[in-house]
Amino acid sequence: MSVKYLKKAIQTAESGQDQVRVTVQAMLDRLERDGDDGARAYARDLDKWEGDIVVSRETIEKAKKLVPQRLQDDIRFAQDNIRRFAQAQRDTISDCSLEIVPGLWTGQKQIPVQAAGCYVPGGRYSHIASAMMTITTAKVAGVSHITACSPPGPGVGISPATLFTMDLCGAHKILNLGGVQGVAAMAFGLFGVPRADIIVGPGNQYVAEAKRILFGRVGIDMVAGPTDSLIIADKTADPYLVAWDLVGQAEHGYNSPVWLVTSDAALAQAVMDRIPQCIAQLPALNAKNAEAAWRDYAEVILCDNREEMAEVADRYAPEHLHVQAADLDWWLARLSSYGSLFLGEETTVAFGDKASGPNHVLPTSGSARYTGGLSVHKFMKTVTWQRASKEGARPVAQATARISRHEGMAGHARSAEVRLEKFFPGERFDFDAGA
């Protein structure tokens, strides 16, 4: 495999995590101890917010009137796509039953969790799309109570468009809380909301670390690092589109990796030449993020052929994988490690981030090797059941007793044997496992 790096990253997404972990643990300890008062204190100190934590119906209705009709229509369009895709996923999940031996019936049921907490990022950007992705999917899964939270702006609270979206998607309670305190409020059941069974949604490194620490006490969708994106491009790709697709993802943050894997050196150079020009067209803060991400985290990798490109992509296991190359069906069949796959120049990761339907809460930092993104499955438990007749219990009880005796688990053996003694009095059973 002759892979050549035309540009190599000088930073990794894991830089500085130790101090983040210490800070978040201390915050969670205080929030669990001080409850609502602790969350209010963090909202005041970190978000400069001293208003109501629980957003009232009156506030939501006022916010709706501030959202332009065209934006409302766009949000409804995107939310309906997301809802219909989630419903299609839900329709693939079914209960089942099987008479596994005569007289012994087994089965599975799909049960949604009772309470979910949906974290919607705020800060630099107003993440309308994250509200749609998390709340809508929980609603389609059948979750009984959905709490959503987002960082409030000083003196303003959650942005009107985000409030409109949270309400449209079906949130039962909305909290003016961001960061660790928002995650903790949902996990610990502060401000009168039910304790969340699962907490989902993207966020900064502090939010991700809070979810990591709380995992076990609550379920989580995944531990997400900075968003990342990889483009596979061959000589048929348009370098201008590729450059903008890389820059569009790099603007997420200074530490958001973007990678280009190509078999064409001329294309690679053309893309690298265009990147600074694209960055220069962004607003100042977006440009600052994209410039840092491109400088410190981006890579451009030259391969000999498409099989090498596929191997590199599978090794990186990116959150977003965009193929701009010939023979898209081959790539769809070949690639195996990604959060979400985008095929052809006619689509782009931004479509998936905002409006096309599949969820944008996706595995980062290589975790697409072993997990997928947020879906209705994350909000549901697959549980099993069994029921037997007396005759159906006979062979299972005998096998259970012999296996248990062999293992040295006498209590397990007796729980099987006493049933045989009750159901079939006077019969003799051989519980010797043999040589």
pLDDT in tens, 235-269: 999 999 999 999 999 999 999 999 999 999 999 99
- Beta-strand pair 219-220/198-200: parallel
Q: Are residues 277 and 319 both part of a single domain?
A: yes
Residues 6+ apart with CB under 8 A from 202: 119, 121, 127, 130, 224, 227, 361
Q: Which of 386, 191, 127, 184 is nearest to 199 (CA)?
A: 184
Kindly state whether residue 399 falls inside one of the protein's structural domains.
Answer: yes
Q: Are residues 171 and 52 both part of a single domain?
A: yes
pLDDT of residue 14: 59
The answer to whether the beta carbons of residues 373 and 361 sit under 8 Å apart is yes
pLDDT of residue 399: 95
* pLDDT-derived band at 125, boundaries 50, 70, 90: low
* pLDDT-derived band at 217, boundaries 50, 70, 90: very high
pLDDT per residue over 341-390, tens digit each? Answer: 999 999 999 999 999 999 999 999 999 999 999 999 999 999 999 999 99
Mean pLDDT of the chain: 95
Tokens of residue 236, six digits: 């048929």
Q: Are residues 262 and 216 both part of a single domain?
A: no
Kindly state whether residue 367 falls inside one of the protein's structural domains.
Answer: no
pLDDT of residue 224: 85
Q: Are residues 167 and 44 both part of a single domain?
A: yes
Kindly state whether residue 85 falls inside one of the protein's structural domains.
Answer: yes
Domain of 183, in residue numbers: 18-222+377-382
Residues acting as catalytic residues? 319-320
**Residue 310, pLDDT above cutoff 70:** yes
The answer to whether the beta carbons of residues 368 and 362 sit under 8 Å apart is yes
Kindly state whether residue 6 falls inside one of the protein's structural domains.
Answer: no
Task: Name the 3-class secondary structure at 394.
Answer: helix
Task: Name the 3-class secondary structure at 299.
Answer: strand
- Percent of the residues in the chain that have a pLDDT greater than 70, as a whole number: 98
Q: Are residues 281 and 170 both part of a single domain?
A: no
Kindly state whether residue 370 falls inside one of the protein's structural domains.
Answer: no
pTM for this predicted structure: 0.93
Query: How far is it, in rounded angstroms, from Cα 357 to Cα 115?
Result: 23
The answer to whether the beta carbons of residues 320 and 230 sit under 8 Å apart is yes
Q: Are residues 38 and 163 both part of a single domain?
A: yes
Kindly state whether residue 4 falls inside one of the protein's structural domains.
Answer: no
pLDDT of residue 257: 96
**Residue 16, pLDDT above cutoff 60:** no
pLDDT per residue over 36-84, tens digit each? Answer: 999 999 999 999 999 999 999 999 999 999 999 999 999 999 999 999 9
* pLDDT-derived band at 423, boundaries 50, 70, 90: very high
The answer to whether the beta carbons of residues 37 and 325 sit under 8 Å apart is no
**Residue 95, pLDDT above cutoff 80:** yes
128-141 vs 160-169: helix crossing angle, rounded to 10? 10
**Residue 1, pLDDT above cutoff 80:** no
Q: How far is CA 410 from the centre of its chain?
A: 44
pLDDT per residue over 129-184, tens digit each? Answer: 999 999 999 999 999 999 999 999 998 999 999 999 999 999 999 999 999 999 99
Q: Are residues 132 and 204 both part of a single domain?
A: yes
Q: Are residues 216 and 164 both part of a single domain?
A: yes
Q: Which of 375, 393, 378 is nearest to 105 (CA)?
A: 393
Kindly state whether residue 409 falls inside one of the protein's structural domains.
Answer: yes
Query: How far is it, in rounded angstroms, from Cα 149 to Cα 19?
Result: 25
Q: Are residues 205 and 250 both part of a single domain?
A: no
Query: How far is it, in rounded angstroms, from Cα 83 to Cα 14?
Result: 34
Query: How far is it, in rounded angstroms, from Cα 265 to Cα 2?
Result: 14
Q: For residue 231, what are the β-bridge partners?
A: 260, 322
The answer to whether the beta carbons of residues 258 and 294 sit under 8 Å apart is yes
Q: Which of 232, 253, 310 is nearest to 11 (CA)?
A: 253
CB atoms within 10 A of CB 305: 11
Based on its alpha-carbon atoms, the radius of gyration of the chain, rounded to whole angstroms, reads 26
Q: Are residues 117 and 71 both part of a single domain?
A: yes
**Domain count within the chain:** 3
Query: How far is it, in rounded angstroms, from Cα 390 to Cα 386?
Result: 13
The answer to whether the beta carbons of residues 149 and 42 sit under 8 Å apart is no
The answer to whether the beta carbons of residues 282 and 290 sit under 8 Å apart is yes
CATH code at 344? 3.40.50.1980
* pLDDT-derived band at 34, boundaries 50, 70, 90: very high
